[in-house]
Amino acid sequence: MKILYAAMIACTLGSCTTSTSSAQNQTNQPETSSEREIVATEVDEHFHEHDTVQESSESVGSVSNGSLKNGRIVPFSGKNYHYFDTTSYLANRGFTHEKVLNTVLETYEVLDSLLPGKHFCIMECSHQQGGKLYPHRTHQNGMSVDFMMPKLKDKEPYYGLDNLGAQHYMLTFDKNGKYSKDPSIELDFNTIALHILELQSAAKKNGMSIEKVIINTGLKDELFATEHGKTLKQSGIYVVRNLSPLINSVHDDHFHIDFKLD
Ligand SMILES: [Zn+2]
């Protein structure tokens, strides 16, 4: 089911690889340096073309049945982060409510001071005008954001799986957070917990809060066992307790946040 869901994202973005075994080799990301330069220019132009909205953002309806007015485009990259997939970005899937954008950017700034040198990836957000973001059930009103799980290899920060594009949604980690194809690569639960705590703190400054964190429920024990995870557990931030098998299976390579306006 994981493969099916993730493949739907990949196919939506025009890269129909349905085998996880090829996830590391077949991505929809540009391969040669000249291809990368062309795409980098397109991405840059795309950002500037859409980074013109002045009016206040408005979320209409709910995360699962809604739309977005005056959404903001997420910058493709900054000092310590980048958007995970150029095709997704150019397909207008990297828009969000202005307060969510401010929250995310302020969080990356704080994380840069707390964890200098560490790099993060933001994954799918919302369409420019919201609405259905196939195959996600939510992400409709600019209040939902997917964040890539930070990883470790042999206990050191590891970025070797960060540039797979939409194929990243296909990666599988076991209930201890170890990568299915190389158990020396594992999820960095302490950083995940800190990331969530800092998102909440930045959200509060922007008149928002986290409504819900969606992460594979089998990973919660590992998450809450870490130093920052203990703080997260006490924080009152709602981390989902029950998910359908499909939704559970696709939330091991990323965590999903629904924000709400306070
Ligand atoms: Zn999501």
CA distance 228 to 196: 9
Q: Flag whether the pTM goes above 0.85.
A: yes
Which residues are close to ligand 1, an ion, with C-beta < 5 A?
146, 256
How far away, in angstroms, is 123 Cα from ligand 1 center? 8
How far away, in angstroms, is 33 Cα from ligand 1 center? 31
Residues paired with 73 in a beta bridge = 95
How far away, in angstroms, is 154 Cα from ligand 1 center? 28
How far away, in angstroms, is 117 Cα from ligand 1 center? 26
Is 151 in contact with 164 (CB distance < 8 Å)? no
How far away, in angstroms, is 22 Cα from ligand 1 center? 23
How far away, in angstroms, is 32 Cα from ligand 1 center? 30
**2-261: what CATH class?**
alpha beta
Q: What is the pLDDT of residues 151-188, one digit of tens each?
A: 999 999 999 999 999 999 999 999 999 999 999 999 99
How far away, in angstroms, is 182 Cα from ligand 1 center? 25
Whether residue 86 has pLDDT greater than 80: yes
Q: Average pLDDT, whole number, for the chain? A: 92
How far away, in angstroms, is 256 Cα from ligand 1 center? 4
CA distance 214 to 146: 9
How far away, in angstroms, is 125 Cα from ligand 1 center? 7
User: pLDDT value at position 23?
Assistant: 43
Q: In whole angstroms, what separates CA 83 from the centre of its chain?
A: 8
How far away, in angstroms, is 158 Cα from ligand 1 center? 23
DSSP at 98: H
User: pLDDT value at position 17?
Assistant: 52
Strand 81-83 to strand 95-96: parallel, antiparallel, or no bridges (unpaired)? unpaired
In this prediction, residue 54 has a pLDDT band, given cuts at 50, 70 and 90, of very high
In this prediction, residue 213 has a pLDDT band, given cuts at 50, 70 and 90, of very high
How far away, in angstroms, is 110 Cα from ligand 1 center? 23
How far away, in angstroms, is 174 Cα from ligand 1 center? 19
- Listed by start position, the domains of the chain span 2-261
User: pLDDT value at position 20?
Assistant: 42
How far away, in angstroms, is 226 Cα from ligand 1 center? 24
- From 258, 20, 17, select the one nearest 143 (Cα to Cα): 258
Burial of 239 (0-12, 13-18, 19+ CB in 10 A): buried
Secondary structure element (H or E) that encloses residue 203, with its range: helix 189-205
How far away, in angstroms, is 34 Cα from ligand 1 center? 32
How far away, in angstroms, is 89 Cα from ligand 1 center? 15
Q: What is the pLDDT of residues 233-256, one digit of tens each?
A: 999 999 999 999 999 999 999 999
Strand 81-83 to strand 120-122: parallel, antiparallel, or no bridges (unpaired)? parallel
How far away, in angstroms, is 63 Cα from ligand 1 center? 10
Tokens linked to 155 = 């206990």
Q: pLDDT > 90: what percent of the chain?
A: 85
Whether residue 21 has pLDDT greater than 60: no
